[in-house]
Chain A
């Protein structure tokens, strides 16, 4: 009995999590971790916004 309840809870949590994740993604929502870029590219990023490429 206890094992059944345990399995039902686990499956319900898994289904809830997968459904929520799918709904969030379909609405364009994302969370990402980003590492800092080193080197010239990061340092020069704001030097100029305009100008002839």
Chain B
């Protein structure tokens, strides 16, 4: 083969760029494989926590949850004596939990050893051994656990980690919690805010069954002025497209009568409460990972709560702000359809991708600006460990 021919073939070949081999551009993000510390995370439905101790895995730590006297408490799920999970134990005295092995009994208020039953009432260890206690709160029908290194007054109120509009209005919440989903939490977070995937991956889902999805969008991805949210703003929506040398592609079908609205208020059926919130966009994300998708009639929120490097607890809720009979209708609709179609098949398709995803290395494309902006949000605004020193890549509690 002549040199000329070889050069010609090389120029016809697509440029082979390897792409990004690691996430070193965002060191804090890269190192957060077991999660972002110092946030309050929703973990269970309030009604599912009772006097029987239960265990959850959070950010690589095992946490025992128990309800005592109406209050939910969380302690490290490991007895310091022989490493047996306290969640296998029971309650022998009010305000305590007792290890099933030798009867070591810890106070729920402070995690301090109150009694070692098999060592008698005068055990010298009492008051000198403790397990870690996790601050807990109940909001929105969920139990929230703060996982981090702050203690006492340093622990921020849980409201800081809950979208404001959820606390400001009466609402009805339908939701599902999936513990132990496969995949790192960052894959789930990036998938949630990923601009490109929904219109292709979910195109045959029941949830989008009667709605035409676009082929592609031109989207701005920006931070809100207060640096709380990253939002996706649609500049242009393309409902069909001509691909050179391949042909025409569209999702149009006779049974797909409606098209998705770019903003909830663009829909004439929009709920007045949602319209009144003046949400900056249909899709928004904030730290640690709270995704908000505003539909005209309700708002979807989701969390990917890190369990360990390979699993996350997926929490999804759909919130309706209707009252009266509309509230009952929402409940019936959620149980009969939404729970199966949206919070079942649709988000199940996401779980499938999160499970099989494997990056870096990665070769990103234009719609991945959404993913990049989320990574930048984590890198720039993640909450630091108290006392660790605040560098110029993070902001303080007051945002200054």
Contacts and interface: CB of A to CB of B under 8 A. Distances in A.
B327 A33 contact: yes
B399 A45 contact: no
Given A31-B335, A33-B172, A34-B141, A47 B399 contact: yes
B397 interface: yes
A32 interface: yes
A49 B162 CA distance: 9
Contact of B390 (A25, A27, A52): A52
Nearest to A37: B167
B169 interface: yes
Contact of B383 (A41, A47, A51): A51
A51 B176 contact: no
B148 A53 contact: yes
A3 interface: no
Contact of A45 (B159, B170, B178, B396): B159
A37 B224 CA distance: 24
Interface in A11-37: 24-25, 27-37
A41 B159 contact: yes
Given A45-B159, A50-B383, A34 B397 contact: no
Given A36-B169, A47-B399, A30 B45 contact: yes
Contacts of A42: 159, 164, 167-168
Contacts, number: 134
B181 to A, nearest CB: 11
A29 B317 CA distance: 10
B238 to A, nearest CB: 33
Contacts of B167: 36-37, 41-42, 45
Nearest to B395: A50
Interface residues of B, number: 57
A4 interface: no
Contact of B164 (A28, A35, A46): A46
Given A31-B172, A34-B170, A52 B396 contact: yes
B397 A51 contact: yes
Contact of A29 (B163, B171, B176, B390): B176
B118 interface: no
Nearest to B224: A46
A30 B141 contact: yes
B173 interface: yes
B156 interface: yes
Interface string B132-176: 000000011100000010100011110111111011111111111
A27 B386 contact: no
Contacts of B228: 46, 48-49
B38 A53 contact: yes
A23 to B, nearest CB: 11
Given A29-B339, A32-B45, A48-B228, 4 more contacts: A29-B174, A34-B166, A43-B168, A45-B163
- Nearest 7 pairs between A and B by C-beta? A51-B397, A32-B141, A46-B164, A45-B159, A28-B177, A42-B167, A53-B150
22 contacts: A29-B343, A30-B47, A30-B175, A31-B335, A32-B47, A32-B141, A34-B171, A34-B172, A34-B173, A44-B159, A45-B160, A45-B162, A46-B163, A48-B395, A49-B161, A49-B286, A50-B396, A50-B397, A52-B397, A53-B148, A53-B154, A53-B386
